[in-house]
Structure 1
Amino acid sequence: MCLAAGMAVMSVVALDAQEQVSQAPGAVLRGLDKINGVTSDIELAAGTTAAFGTLQITLDDCRYPVGNPAGNAYAALEISEMGQTGTLFSGWMVASAPALSAMDHPRYDVWVMSCTTS
């Protein structure tokens, strides 16, 4: 991540830190396979891992504004690729600003849509 993007994420987190949030039991992510143009919704419970193509996506946490589960979602994710060492992405994705903290992969895009409340 470049320095400017990192500072932008820190600014968003600093602004949103003033907002009261609730912890959700899960999240809905959306994945795009850029080769075939197919999108898939991925529903994950906190602490679980799902496969999307060759990716392994783990949801650590999902938070949303208190009293507004349909509002902005903040998801802590770890994404790795099968057969590769290390992680492709580790951090928070923000539903309202997916470009601020995006995973960089030549074939796949993943972003958070919302938190789940049940």
Structure 2
Amino acid sequence: MHGSLRNNRYIFFFVISRYFFYIYLVGGIVILSTVGCVQAERVSNEIGIFSGLDKITGRVTSFEVYIGQVYQYGALQIIPRVCYTSSENEPARTTGFVEVNEMTLERKIRRIFTGWMFADSPGLNAVEHPIYDVWLKDCKKSSHTLTSQ
């Protein structure tokens, strides 16, 4: 009888410890799933602000382009599709999805870049061209003095 009481205690502790293990496991999963879902809020903007470098003249030009509009910079056509900034209570982060076409000497349009540009890392996904470099600087909501070509 004394041995069976000891076995019952072990079974009891085993069941209780298993019960607490499942509680901790489910709690951990819930906590991790809520932490993983927290994302910085991004703000969609109407205008992308870019800089372009003409490697022949060494001249740097800044220009603003409405989302979905085409801006001609030398032989390049810059078309921003989206431009996001982080919300005011988050660290500054500016990203944009951009398409860049080149007008060839035969007057044909050739896509040379499609992708995300990051203002805080301009060299990461900047457009590299033999004559021109183009990179995203910032985004903004609207402008009354928008430069267009």
TM-score normalised by length of structure 2: 0.63
Partner in structure 1 of residue 39 of structure 2: 18
Q: Structure 1 residue aligned with 2:56, among 17, 22, 35?
A: 35
Paired-residue identity, %: 34
Match of 2:140 in 1: 116
**Runs of 4 or more off by more than 2 Å in structure 1?**
83-86
Query: How far is the alpha carbon of 1:75 from its aligned partner?
Result: 1.2
Q: Is the 8 A contact 2:44 2:82 kept in 1?
A: yes
Contact 2:128-2:134 within 8 A present in 1 as well: no
Once the two structures are superposed, residues 14-57 of structure 1 have per-residue CA deviations (whole angstroms, 9 ceiling, x without a partner) of xxx93221100111100000110011111001110100011011
Name the aligned partner's letter for residue 95 of structure 1.
A
Instruction: Compare CA radii of gyration and give the structure with the larger one.
Output: 2
State the match for 2:73 in structure 1.
52
1:67-87 deviation digits (Å, cap 9, x = unpaired): 26x932111110011134431
- Let me know the Cα RMSD of the aligned residues: 2.1
* Structure 1 runs not aligned, ≥5 long: 1-16
For 1:61 and 1:79, how far apart are their aligned partners in 2? 13
Describe how 1:35-114 pairs up with structure 2 within 5 A: 35-67=56-88, 71-83=92-104, 84-114=108-138
- Matches of 2:40 and 2:132 in 1, distance apart? 31
Structure 1 residues 99, 26: CA separation in 2 closer, same or farther (over 3 Å shift)?
same
Question: Aligned residue pairs: how many?
Answer: 102
Q: Which has the higher helix share?
A: 2
**Which stretches in structure 2 are left out of the alignment for 5+ residues?**
1-37, 143-149
In the superposition, the TM-score normalised over structure 1's length comes to 0.78
1:7 aligns with none
